Amino acid sequence: MVSKLLRFGRRQLHTIVSRDIIKPSSPTPSHLKTYNLSLFDQLAVNAYMPVVAFYPSYGIFQSSHDKTLELKNSLSRSLNQYYPYAGRLAKSCPTYVDCSDDGVEFIEASNDSPLSDFLHQSAHEDLDQLFPDDLIWYKSNHKGHTDENESTSPLSVQVNHFSCGGVAVAVSLSHRIADGSSIFNFLNHWATVTRSGAGEHHDLSHINPHFLSYKTRNVNLPKNMPDRPQGDYVTRSFVFPNSKINDLKAKITSMTMETGEPISNPTRAEALTWLLHKCAVAAASKTNSGVFKPTGVCHALNLRSNLVESLPETSVGNLYLAMEYPTANESELTPSYVIGELRKRKKEVKSLRNAETALGMVAEMCSDHTAVLETLNRLCDYYVYTVISRFPTYGIDFGWGKPVKVTVGGVVKNVTIMMSTPKGDGIDALVSLDRQDMKIIQNDSELLAFC
C-alpha cells in the first residue's frame, strides 16, 4: 500500500512494510472475558480517535526499525492490563467487548522524508496516512454497509519510520470503549512499560488502568444514531501563547465588568471557547451571505475529577458529560453569556455524587427515543470544544526522550481540540471548519491578535 503526496516539488512516499497481530503476553482470566460497556460508552460516537506522537532520532538504536521489536514486546505486556483493547466488539450498537485476546494489529510503515521536513511541510490532512487502515474518526464508517454481526478491534497501532531515523507512533482507539483521557493514559502506560525494559518486576500500579463495573441497565437506544455532518472541511492549528491568553482573559474581565455581567478569573479554556466560537459563527455568517445562523456550544467535561466522589484519573471508559446550550442570536455571543452558561452547566455536573448518579440521569433521558434523537440531531449543528491540555500528552516517553509533537488526526467538522504546546507555554487549538469558513477565520484580526 503506497500513498503519495505532492509537497514542495517532490513526491513523498509512505509505504506499509509489515503487518502483525500483537496479543497479550498472558491469557485474560475467564472471569474477565466479557467487559460490559456503560451507557456512556454506548452513546459515544461510532468512530475512532487517532493520536500520534513524533520522536526524532536520538541515536540510541543503529536503525529506527530496531525499536519495533521492543515496542511489540511492551505492547503485548501492556495488553495484559488493557485486556479489552485486545478483544472484539460489534461494529453496530455494541453493548460489550468480547475479551478474546484476538490481539491488536501492529502496522509498520516507512516514509522517505526526514521527520523535520514532514512536520514543517505537511498540512494537517497529511497525518491521515500515519494511522492504521483509515481508522480516523468517521472515515472507517464510509467503506460500505456494515453487517450487524460483524466485529472489529477496539485498537490498532501504526509505527512510522522516517528517513532520518525519527519515528511517529500512531494509535486509533474506538470511541465506543474509551475517551480522550483513556487513550493518553494507555499511551503513557505503554511508553512506561517500554522504558522499564523487559522485566516484569516494575511497580506500575500507579498507572495501571482502573476498570469500573456498572449495573446492567435495560435501555434500548435508537438504532440509527446521527453522525456529525461532514462535507468539505479542513483542520488548522492556532497556537495561543500564555501571555496572549492572559491578555484575552483581561479583555474578557474588562468587557464583562462594563456590561454589568462580570466574569471573574476566566480559565484559558473558557476564554478561548468564547473567542473561537464567536469567530467561527461570524465566519459561518459571512459564508451564509451575511445571515446569522443559530447554533450552539457543546463542551465535553471530564467526570473523573469533577464528581463529588472523584474517580481515579486512570479510569477507563467514556467518562465525560456534554455540556450544551444554544447561541440562537448574535446577542448570545458575548463572553458573559458563553462563559456564564458554561459555568452554570459545569456547576450542575460538579453537584453529581458519583458515576452511577450521572448514569442514572442519562438513562432517564434515554428512555424517550424521540427526545434522544432530537438532542443528537441538534448537537450535530453545534460547535464542539474539547480540552485535553491537562492530559499527559508530552510525557509519553518510550525511552527515546519526550515527543517533539503530539497531535490528533482527522478532527471532525466544527470540532475544536485544545492541547498543550510542547513546552507547556500555551494552547494549541486544532480547529476544524468548513473550508470557506476557515479561509475567513484565518484572516480574522481579532482572533489573530491572540496567536
Residues of the chain with pLDDT under 70: 1-12, 59-66, 138-149, 198-202, 218, 223-224, 226-229
What's the pLDDT at 138?
64
Please tell me what DSSP assigns to residue 295: E
Complete domains list, the chain, with CATH = 2-196 (3.30.559.10), 233-448 (3.30.559.10)
Instruction: State pTM to two decimals.
Output: 0.92
- Which pLDDT score is estimated for 331? 94
Distance CA 8, CA 122 (A): 10
Task: Report, as residue numbers or ranges, the catalytic residues.
Answer: 175, 397
**Number of CB atoms found within 10 A of residue 308's CB:** 10
Structure confidence by residue, pLDDT tens digits, 151-186: 999 999 999 999 988 999 999 999 999 999 999 999
- Residue tagged 464528581 (cell numbers): 307
pLDDT of residue 142: 44
Residues 6+ apart with CB under 8 A from 253: 262, 263, 264, 265, 266
pLDDT of residue 190: 97
Residue 65: predicted pLDDT: 61
The one-letter amino acid code at 388 reads: I
Which helix (H) or strand (E) is 10 found in, with range? Answer: strand 10-22
Query: Tell me, what's the pLDDT at 230?
Result: 74
Nearest C-alpha neighbor of 54 from the set 138, 133, 134, 126: 126
Determine how β-strand 320-327 pairs with β-strand 295-302. antiparallel
Return the C-alpha cell found at 409.
488526526
